[in-house]
């Protein structure tokens, strides 16, 4: 009896001088939703490429469903489903033909082929559009079709590399419904990379990767305890003066965003009334929130999980959470 479906041991991948994946080890339990979190260029996609046999590790090894990703490629490939960051559909074929192709290549038995194709297409609500060529699908439909395709051969592990990147919020939440439903029904293990923090919250466990190194692997709740304390954000007349005052009075570090100050306190509800009463600088607004995975990431890596490649949707999400670029 094995208690893990993915086992990664001391995995290293070098591209010349660059160490893209730097000695990472972790295991994933069957049925788990495992989030792989990090900014672009942190080594997420490189790791996935190794796990799905597209790329060979420089050293270390990875076992999926009992098969070695280097020496038992064919068995590994049969055990996994993949949804890539970039689309990988044949746009000139219909949705149905794309799935038929996949079923043939993955040797889905002819007797159940039609039934399975119907099942997954209905699940992602594309059954009515099955005869349309994929090039007439919207971005969200394409991604849904890819998810359906990834599930067609009943993989043990479904890899989702940024499955909702660039999709509108409505489609994103729909895709998440499918993923959760799937885990419920099939017990499929889901290995997912994302830099959407709110999506990572859905995972059972999260690995945070930065500069090719794993900095933490734990449940979202326990990771948030790393930050531990509540976060106060405040806008004032004079941020310089206020920052200085907070530092002196509460002996805590202050972070300056473009138009507000944030700092951590042990117990926010009790802190706020006293703070408002006694603070010397005029307060324009004040907010209190529990730590999010954003804060965890910031704490562990010293920077926010974002870069120039993030989509507009993500920026909107960030804004909604009230976070801004640090100076």
Partner 1 sequence: MNNLRGVYTIWYRDILRFWHDKMRMIGSLILPLLFLVVFGSGLSARMGFLAPGIDFTQFMFPGIIGMTVLMSSFMAGVSVVWDREFGFLKEVLVAPISRASVAAGKTLGAATVALLQGVIILLFAPLAGISLSAGTVLALLPLMFLLAASMGSLGVLLATRIRSMEAFQAVMQMLMFPVVFLSGVFFPLQGLPAWMNILVKINPATYGIAPIRQVVLGVLPDSPFSINLFGHNLSLWENVTVLAVFGAAMILLAMWSFSSQE
Give me the residues that bind partner 1 (CB under 8 A), please: 52-56, 74-75, 77-78, 80, 82, 84, 86-93, 97, 101-102, 104-107, 133, 149
Minimum Å gap between C-beta 237 and partner 1 is 53
| Nearer of residues 101 and 250 to partner 1, judged by Cβ | 101
Minimum Å gap between C-beta 246 and partner 1 is 50
| Nearer of residues 54 and 286 to partner 1, judged by Cβ | 54
Minimum Å gap between C-beta 75 and partner 1 is 8
| Nearer of residues 152 and 232 to partner 1, judged by Cβ | 152
Minimum Å gap between C-beta 117 and partner 1 is 15
Minimum Å gap between C-beta 133 and partner 1 is 8
Burial category of 168 from C-beta neighbours within 10 Å (exposed 0-12, middle 13-18, buried 19 and up) = middle
Minimum Å gap between C-beta 48 and partner 1 is 11
| Nearer of residues 81 and 291 to partner 1, judged by Cβ | 81
Q: Are strands 189-194 and 230-236 parallel, antiparallel or unpaired?
A: unpaired
CA dist 198 and 299 (Å) reads: 17
**Are 80 and 64 spatial neighbours (Cβ–Cβ below 8 Å)?**
yes
Sign of the C-alpha dihedral computed for residues 52, 209, 88 and 155 taken in this order: positive
Minimum Å gap between C-beta 90 and partner 1 is 5
Which are the contacts of 173, defined by CB distance < 8 A and separation ≥ 6? none
Minimum Å gap between C-beta 82 and partner 1 is 6
Could you tell me the end-to-end alpha-carbon distance of the chain, in angstroms, rounded to an integer? 52
**Are 233 and 262 spatial neighbours (Cβ–Cβ below 8 Å)?**
yes
| Nearer of residues 58 and 204 to partner 1, judged by Cβ | 58
**Are 265 and 232 spatial neighbours (Cβ–Cβ below 8 Å)?**
yes
CA dist 202 and 36 (Å) reads: 12
**Are 36 and 47 spatial neighbours (Cβ–Cβ below 8 Å)?**
yes
| Nearer of residues 54 and 300 to partner 1, judged by Cβ | 54
Phi, psi of 46 (to 5 degrees): -60, -45
DSSP string, 57-81: -SEEEEEETTEETTT-HHHHHHHEE
Minimum Å gap between C-beta 87 and partner 1 is 5
CA dist 293 and 30 (Å) reads: 24
CA dist 133 and 147 (Å) reads: 17
| Nearer of residues 161 and 199 to partner 1, judged by Cβ | 161
20, containing H or E segment: strand 18-28
In the block, residue with structure tokens 């849904």: 144
| Nearer of residues 89 and 318 to partner 1, judged by Cβ | 89
| Nearer of residues 56 and 225 to partner 1, judged by Cβ | 56
């Amino acid at each position: 009896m094995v208690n893990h479906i993915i086992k990664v041991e001391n995995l290293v991948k070098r591209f010349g001088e660059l160490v893209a994946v730097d000695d990472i080890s972790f295991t994933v339990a069957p049925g788990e939703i495992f989030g792989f979190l990090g900014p672009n260029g942190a080594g997420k996609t490189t790791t996935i490429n190794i796990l799905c046999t597209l790329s060979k590790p420089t050293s270390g090894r990875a076992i999926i469903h009992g098969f070695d990703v280097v020496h038992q490629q064919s068995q590994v490939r049969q055990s996994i489903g993949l949804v890539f960051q970039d689309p990988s559909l044949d746009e000139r074929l219909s949705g149905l033909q794309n799935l038929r192709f996949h079923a043939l290549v993955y040797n889905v038995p002819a007797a159940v082929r039609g039934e399975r194709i119907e099942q997954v297409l209905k699940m992602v609500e594309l059954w009515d559009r099955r005869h349309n060529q994929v090039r007439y699908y919207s971005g969200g439909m394409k991604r849904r079709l890819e998810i359906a395709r990834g599930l067609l051969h009943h993989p043990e592990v479904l890899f989702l590399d940024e499955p909702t990147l660039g999709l509108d919020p409505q489609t994103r939440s729909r895709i998440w419904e499918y993923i959760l439903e799937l885990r419920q029904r099939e017990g499929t293990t889901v290995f997912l990379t994302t830099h959407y923090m709110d999506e990572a919250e859905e995972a059972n466990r999260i690995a945070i990767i930065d500069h090719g190194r794993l900095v933490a692997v734990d449940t979202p709740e326990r990771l948030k305890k790393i930050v531990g304390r509540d976060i106060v954000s405040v806008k004032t007349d004079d941020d310089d003066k206020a920052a200085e005052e907070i530092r002196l009075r509460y002996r805590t570090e202050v972070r300056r965003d473009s138009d507000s100050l944030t700092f951590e306190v042990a117990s926010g509800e009790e802190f706020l009334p006293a703070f408002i009463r006694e603070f010397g600088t005029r307060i324009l607004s004040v907010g209190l929130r529990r730590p999010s995975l954003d804060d965890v990431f910031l704490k562990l890596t010293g920077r926010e999980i974002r870069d120039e490649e993030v989509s507009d949707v993500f920026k909107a999400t960030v804004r909604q959470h009230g976070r801004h670029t640090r100076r």
